[in-house]
Chains A and B, each alone.
Chain A
């Protein structure tokens, strides 16, 4: 009965936080009603730098950043740096190379810029199609995240959770457009960062006695303790890079990258981040160029708050997990509330394996949990146990952030807050992506190509209809996710890195770049990247076997695509006529921060 009242307390607090935060989103959405396309697509360019920074941070940090990243780092150890740096370093590129100039340009979308700079409607349409593809794949993951959180904590079905999320997003995105989205994102950032940092502070204090996670990670003995435990259990030290070398990484397939691949993946993620349309478009909404630069600063500051907390959470979670489960009888583990809950959800699984003895015989299964290197199962939790490894505990990396506060026995209030934070992260990113899809279809394709004379009222009505339609499509895929979502995300980053980033960069920094060069570059970059990913991930060609030491993983192929794009564009542009005089003046104009 005591368990029941504890469960009720958790559920009560969770409902309270979720309903209250959703109420605020709805209120802001309804308050931010807009009637003009400029307000609908770029919030009337009236968002102050610090608010835009917070909105950018919420926009960028998705369900994956909030729910999965710390867990992933916790399994990868030092090699997790590729995600930590890959998903933050792009902001330096964005701030220095793209944001101020795109703000000066001052129109609505990324395809707008491509079309105007390269005086070509085909370039613009190509960019619009890429933007739709990239954003649609991304938004499916967000909707799925909403469903998972609802199902796990509020005991309603996945699909019901997705539908509730769809209705909320529909209200603030359809009514308020970019303006509604921006101000809800500001609030969502507040909720998600609080939900991430508060439990981290409690756990840091419990484990190290220092409440600041970043300082606790650096100055306490947590990492050296974990390194020692890892060695005892037969893993590579947590802080050791390239742990694949001795094949003792806890998550072998994901960390098996050599130095070149670590570089390629980190670089592709950075350039991909800087090239994602839903991130770029946030810098269109500031009042001027100066505010765009400062809002990039606020954005990276707000993002860094979560991204420097995550590695600390990762270390604490790993310590906690090993501490509470390794060498414990399964009967004792089953008494833990969270263990049984996540076991029922299929996120954690124990297999009792026979223990090998020095004389070659084996002892029968002993009912005691062993954590060791190697995979528990041959190929995922639904297949047979892998008897070559003594590892007996399967833990899904996605459960770590959500389960961590429970493992550390934190109060139900904190757990409720974490749930509201996960939903805020997913909804804020989903809204931004939906707006990009809407602007690409309604503004870049429909109004620009089919009905350029459409009056203001019609344009905004079409924008609203398309966003509603996009929400329904995203919701459908969120409920019935295609099996290849993870593979498709590699696609999104690869394409952003190999098409958008170079084409915009050259458009600003190379005045001589012309239509022919840019289109060739985009085609070469995206075809090489897409082709390689299709071969490796979908047709399952053994690239590693074929290329040996020259192997590049699909996550890193965007780096190659990006350089090929720039290379091809430079060569072709020098062999074809220079861009017309107006376009060269346009480049001058974009480079000048003042309005004259």
Chain B
């Protein structure tokens, strides 16, 4: 695994392609959640969700005014940490220059 010392051209491009595929899956999953909370929960089905309550306010209203924003913060944190692990796994860390 730890063969970081400049692999031959063919190998490194296979590694890059694999890294990119996983990267696209991570982005896809996180953006799916982003779409669901921003649009499904806060706009398309807001009236249905308002039938339920979180704390003392309607659930759809909560998504539109609080919930989605909190979820954005969590999504970006998951992305940053997840990509960190992925970089390490593929030996593509960007650290060290600072």
Pairwise interchain contact A84-B84, C-beta atoms closer than 8 A: no
Which residues of A have CB within 8 Å of B61? 78, 223, 239, 241
Pairwise interchain contact B57-A259, C-beta atoms closer than 8 A: no
Rounded to whole Å, the gap between the CB of B1 and the closest CB of chain A is 16
Give the interface centre of B70, B80, B92 by most chain A CB atoms within 10 Å. Answer: B80
Of the candidate stretches A85-93, A275-283, A393-401, A535-543, the one touching chain B is A85-93
Which chain B residue lies CB-closest to A307? B69
**B 28-56 to A, binary, CB cutoff 8 A, 1 in contact else 0:** 00110010001100111011001000111
**Interface range for A:** 35 or more
Per DSSP, chain A at the interface is: helix
A458 close to B (CB within 8 Å): no
Contact among B43, B56, B76 for A95, CB-based, below 8 A: B76
Which chain A residue lies CB-closest to B54? A218
Complex-state Cα separation, A264 to B86, whole angstroms: 34
A209 close to B (CB within 8 Å): no
B94 close to A (CB within 8 Å): yes
Pairwise interchain contact B92-A297, C-beta atoms closer than 8 A: no
**Interface range for B:** 35 or more
Pairwise interchain contact A293-B95, C-beta atoms closer than 8 A: no
**A 170-195 to B, binary, CB cutoff 8 A, 1 in contact else 0:** 00000000000000000000000000
Which chain B residue lies CB-closest to A86? B38
Pairwise interchain contact A97-B27, C-beta atoms closer than 8 A: yes
Give the interface centre of B23, B34, B42, B62 by most chain A CB atoms within 10 Å. Answer: B42
Which residues of B have CB within 8 Å of A296? 76, 80
The 7 nearest A-B residue pairs measured at CB: A81-B64, A287-B98, A218-B55, A289-B94, A311-B65, A239-B61, A293-B80
Measured CB to CB, the residues of A under 8 A from B are 46, 48, 73, 78, 80-81, 84-85, 88-89, 91-93, 95-97, 100, 104, 214, 217-221, 223-224, 239-242, 259, 262-263, 266-267, 270, 287-291, 293-294, 296-297, 300-301, 304, 307-308, 311, 588, 591-596
Measured CB to CB, the residues of B under 8 A from A are 6, 13, 16, 19-20, 23, 27, 30-31, 34, 38-39, 42-44, 46-47, 50, 54-58, 60-66, 68-70, 72-73, 75-77, 79-80, 83-84, 87, 91-98
Apart from A88-B68, A96-B30, A241-B64: 14 A-B pairs, beta carbons within 8 A? A48-B98, A73-B65, A78-B64, A85-B64, A218-B66, A219-B55, A219-B56, A239-B50, A259-B44, A266-B42, A266-B43, A290-B95, A296-B80, A308-B70
